[in-house]
Chain A
Amino acid sequence: MQNFIGVDYFDFDSLLNEEEILVRNSVRDFVSENLIPVIEKHYEEATFPNYLIPKLAELGIFGANLPEKYGCANLNNVAYGLIMQELERGDSGIRSFASVQGALVMYPIFTYGSEEQKDYWLPLLASGKKIGCFGLTEPDFGSNPGGMITRAVKDGNSYVLNGAKMWITNGTVADVAVVWAKLDGVVKGFLVEKGTPGFSAPETKGKFSLRASVTSELIFQDVRIPLENLLPKADGLAGPLGCLNQARYGIAWGVIGSMLACYDSALNYSKTRIQFDKPIASFQIIQDKLAKMLTEIVKAQFMTLQLGRLKDAGKLRHQQVSLAKRNNCREALEIARAARDIHGANGIANEYPVMRHMCNLESVKTYEGTEDIHALIIGADITGIQAFR
């Protein structure tokens, strides 16, 4: 297979250091050789390529920005973002898997967990021996998670959980669920292990998007867990929102990968597809579409890199993450749609990656805060007036 080169129209690489480039190239090659050859089959069959989990773990993908003492690589946040970009260049489903494992399961255990929880779970999750999921969304509470119904009640030596979560990535395959539930009216995080009586996680079928990713419902019926399974340092909605901020940061980078894949495919296709005796790339309308795609990629690259530099400097504000997540998802979807157009009928076929990326991005635009909700977060920040309630 031909190596993938990507887009570097403004000498973006000169702003990356040696290990950031090494990280990107290593994951890029891994994705080209291990994921892209099999992804269409998994997408069609609606299965996750499970056999890649140990390989991803060996590469050091899970929780790559967490400390070495837990078996992680301690990468900076830019290198972490570049991993997300390269995974999503392959497929949003793989990036989602890594985002959930790293940003939504390892991160809360690392940030809100006890020493025992960290020492036990983080090495197992980093090595892919255990898989995690993150349960916040409920059937009746999506954009407004604060209204959640799932409850925990203390009863002797245990907490008893009741309620349901929906649209949970990796739910069915997870060994441990980070579950957000109200305890005496306050949102708290709990670790619920697979196999705990009363806990089930049936898979959600019939998705047109993120088909190479497992999505599930989590059902809790008098699920009894030990007191030490509470995440001691999470208190209130800030707990889960702190995790979402990590994951949204990864998505802002990730969807640049979808942009690169769609642009690359569209550019190559337009140069080889002949209509009216000329490559379609010679028509001004096609060139205009390609120029727009390239422009949005370059803009996203620089904005997102600065987002990462701010995060590494400890100066990042969550509203900035909202802005980047919102912009990049929307533009990635626009690029995917334009790329699909350029491919004509071939654009709907799985011989090309564009329709798959386009369908995936519909989920990516919705989860971790919809485009509207992020607009309202930015709006509240710049006007001082909260519009969502």
Chain B
Amino acid sequence: MNIVVCVKHVPDTASRIRIGANGTSIDTSDISFVLNPYDEIAVEESLKLKEAQGGNVTVLTLGGENASSSLRTALAMGADEAIHIKAENWQGDSYATAKNIANEIQKLPFDLILFGKQAVDDDNLAVPQMVAEFLGIPSVTVVVSLEINGNTGKAEREIEGGKEVVEFSLPVAIAAQKGLNEPRYPSMKGIMTAKRKTITTIEATQFEAKAKIVKMEIPASRSTGKILGGVSELIGSLKNEAKVI
């Protein structure tokens, strides 16, 4: 089975985010980047399928120079090869990203394309479906369980208050949700082996974005809480300050 896993290099959620001087992107100077946590789950799923059924795992990213370190992480986890669509200071939207990814995947043999259900930086939840659409294949998102048998498969997806079971034929695009598996840690040997694996680099095409970010803002900081001395003080405060009773 030929599996392509699409991954994104994103700011670590523990980093302190600041808006850049242009007001439409973040200042990346002081933050550390990691492989998007949902994409880690996608990589793990590809490795489990490969271990059980054989095949080849290619990881693919669109991103700047530094994004190669997320590809290395995936290679260290066990992926076989990597493709880096280079896009320094990428200003494209989900459409332009998906179009680049779809064009690249089209050149490869593929039975299964895995994604994380969302990137934790911009939270668009759009690229997997768009790539599937461009390639004319089914997509199943928010997947918490996956079975592949020959040319068909079955997935369980999370829906509000329950689960949905979906059947499909391959090739298919799957977007992974937490709970699908427990991603492995890159092992010391895996990290050393990854050094010898190849990353193929190509330049991104600047498709015209359909949507543009005009402004980014940090949420206003919450005012600090107040400790009250007792019930009567609370009632007084609700009446006179909050004016809710």
Contact = CB atoms under 8 A, between A and B. Distances in A.
A83 B13 CA distance: 23
A3 B11 CA distance: 12
B185 interface: yes
A5 B15 contact: yes
Given A60-B189, A74-B192, 18 more contacts: A2-B13, A3-B13, A5-B12, A5-B15, A18-B69, A19-B191, A22-B69, A22-B73, A22-B186, A23-B191, A25-B34, A26-B187, A68-B189, A72-B188, A72-B189, A73-B187, A73-B188, A83-B188
The 9 tightest CB contacts between A and B, nearest first, are: A60-B188, A73-B188, A3-B14, A26-B186, A73-B189, A60-B187, A26-B185, A64-B188, A22-B191
B32 interface: yes
Which size bracket describes the interface of A in this complex? 20 to 34
22 contacts: A2-B14, A5-B14, A5-B15, A5-B32, A18-B69, A18-B72, A19-B191, A19-B194, A19-B195, A22-B73, A22-B186, A22-B194, A23-B188, A25-B73, A26-B76, A59-B185, A59-B188, A60-B189, A61-B188, A68-B192, A75-B191, A83-B188
A30 interface: yes
A342 to B, nearest CB: 21
A52 interface: no
B72 A22 contact: yes
Interface string B23-65: 0000000001010000000000000000000000000000000
Contacts of A59: 185, 187-188
Instruction: Give the interface centre of A18, A61, A83 by most chain B CB atoms within 10 Å.
Output: A18
Contacts of A5: 12, 14-15, 32
A75 B185 contact: no
Contacts of A302: none
A64 B73 CA distance: 18
Contacts of B195: 19
Interface string B60-83: 000000000100110010000000
Which size bracket describes the interface of B in this complex? 20 to 34
B45 to A, nearest CB: 18
A38 interface: no
A19 B187 CA distance: 11
B195 to A, nearest CB: 6
Interface in A1-45: 2-5, 18-19, 21-23, 25-27, 29-30
A19 B192 contact: yes
Interface in A62-102: 64, 68, 72-75, 79, 83
Nearest to B40: A29
Contacts of A23: 188, 191
A25 B32 CA distance: 11
Contacts of A25: 34, 73
Instruction: Give the interface centre of B12, B34, B186, B195 by most chain A CB atoms within 10 Å.
Output: B186
A58 interface: yes
Given A26-B186, A60-B187, A73-B191, A4 B14 contact: yes
Contacts of B34: 3, 25
Contact of B185 (A3, A30, A72): A30
Nearest to A61: B188
A4 to B, nearest CB: 7
Instruction: Give the interface centre of B73, B190, B192 by most chain A CB atoms within 10 Å.
Output: B192
Interface in B176-209: 185-192, 194-195
B74 to A, nearest CB: 11
Contacts of B187: 26, 58-60, 73
